[in-house]
Structure 1
Amino acid sequence: MFPFDKVYQKVILYRIAKKQREMIEIGARFGLNDSRTVESSQELDKLITKYQEINHIKSVQQSSPQ
């Protein structure tokens, strides 16, 4: 694992939290079915998927013999 992995992971977590707040605000203002809310939700999904990919790669690297 490279040192930047932890930094990148923290950046992704920050972006996830920020997008969650944004999505909640948009949903409260325009409704849950509004296209802006749906778009924000899809962007959040992409960030969460990216975070999961990072963790999966990290776990595979840690479990494989060196």
Structure 2
Amino acid sequence: MQDELNTIEIRVSTRRALEEELEFAVTRLQHVASHARTRGILVPRQDFGRFTASLSELVPYGTTLERRA
């Protein structure tokens, strides 16, 4: 798979925007993950208002894990 399909950068300034962007990113990544069923979704907080949502072999398929980087 191409890397741009596996990672989504999120930059927001409000809580509402964060919720909307995270929902979009997780839904998109769930679709990509459903093809191989080997990776879950990892969402680390990079900085205030900056997150990265990506497929990760460290997270079981069907799981979304949020954490601070």
Task: Tell me whether the two structures share a fold, i.e. TM-score over 0.5.
Answer: no
Larger Rg: 1
Between structures 1 and 2, the one with greater strand share: 2
